């Protein structure tokens, strides 16, 4: 998708306040749950406009200790469902099984998500490809208690995701998740994380397994997915990570 383009040091692939923010994304919902599974845009502070009936927005979790939980006075993307696997956004919206043409192709070493904890489970997912063309999936989930690795096609590295809660004494349940992508690749060879289906006690990788997992030098991101339930403001890639100076509109409490 972008692999042949010149990529600047900072690239935003999603902004909730941009023009046609989901134009390069696939949106998926659970059609059997029209009142609970949906994707919509709303003002974070007011939760308006309401989604089309019968959809009903869940409210952000309340702070029982009375501390403020500052909202954003701007439009954000609301992704909601009790069934995570069916409700998500994905960039790019397509996948060419015969080659990398359906890959996102972003080569930056850092990815960043601005998300709000809605008091329900959610997941973030990134497809990573090494310079040998081997792909692995990194999934970060709020319900995951410890890192684990499942072999498959592609292999899955499942990591815990800790989002700020309304009871954590922070000023807001919004946060920026920063992931260093090259640092994640070596974990696909970590035998201590291995949990193949049907063999929870496995403690080694054989040579055939090593041929299938991404273990070389990081090359690019093949896709990005955000699963319900959360609110999303922006997704971007960078060269220098959290230390990189950002444009003012990337700050959480800035307005585009």
Whether residue 253 is contained in a domain is answered as no
The residue range of the domain holding 30 is 10-59+72-240
Give the pLDDT confidence score for residue 200 in this predicted structure: 41
Which among 225, 227, 160 has a CA at the least distance from the CA of 187? Answer: 160
Give the pLDDT confidence score for residue 207 in this predicted structure: 46
What is the domain-level CATH number for residue 153?
2.60.120
Give the pLDDT confidence score for residue 165 in this predicted structure: 64
pTM recorded for the entire structure: 0.88
Whether residue 1 is contained in a domain is answered as no
Long-range interactions of 243-248: CB distance < 8 A, separation 24+: 244/9, 244/10, 244/110, 246/10, 247/10
Decide if 126 contacts 138 (C-beta within 8 A).
yes
Residue 106 has pLDDT above 70, yes or no: yes
Whether residue 2 is contained in a domain is answered as no
Whether residue 215 is contained in a domain is answered as yes
List phi, psi (to 5°) of 192: -70, -20
Give the pLDDT confidence score for residue 47 in this predicted structure: 93
Whether residue 248 is contained in a domain is answered as no
Give the pLDDT confidence score for residue 79 in this predicted structure: 98
Decide if 218 contacts 150 (C-beta within 8 A).
no
- Counting the structural domains of the chain, the total is 1
pLDDT band with cut points at 50, 70 and 90 for residue 215? confident
Whether residue 114 is contained in a domain is answered as yes
């Amino acid at each position: 998708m972008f692999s042949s383009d010149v990529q600047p040091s900072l690239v935003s692939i999603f902004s909730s306040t941009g023009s046609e923010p989901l134009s390069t994304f696939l949106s998926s919902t659970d059609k059997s749950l029209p009142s609970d599974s949906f994707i919509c845009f709303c003002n974070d502070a007011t939760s308006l406009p309401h989604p089309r009936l019968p959809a009903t927005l869940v409210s952000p979790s309340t702070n029982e200790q009375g501390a403020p939980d500052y909202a954003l006075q701007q439009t954000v993307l609301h992704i909601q469902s009790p069934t995570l696997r069916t409700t998500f956004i994905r960039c790019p919206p397509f996948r060419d099984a015969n080659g990398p043409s359906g890959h996102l192709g972003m080569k930056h070493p850092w990815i960043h998500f601005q998300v709000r904890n809605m008091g329900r489970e959610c997941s973030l997912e990134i497809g990573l490809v090494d310079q040998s063309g081997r792909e692995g999936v990194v999934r970060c989930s709020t319900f995951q208690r410890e890192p684990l690795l499942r072999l498959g096609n592609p292999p899955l590295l499942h990591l815990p995701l800790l989002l700020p809660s309304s009871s954590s004494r922070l000023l807001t349940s919004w946060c920026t998740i920063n992931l260093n992508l090259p640092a994640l690749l070596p974990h696909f060879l970590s035998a201590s994380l291995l949990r193949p289906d049907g063999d929870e006690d496995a403690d080694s990788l054989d040579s055939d397994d090593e041929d299938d997992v991404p273990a070389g030098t990081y090359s690019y991101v093949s896709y990005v997915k955000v699963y319900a339930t959360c609110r999303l403001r922006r997704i971007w890639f960078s060269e220098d990570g959290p230390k990189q100076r950002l444009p003012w509109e990337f700050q959480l409490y800035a307005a585009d």
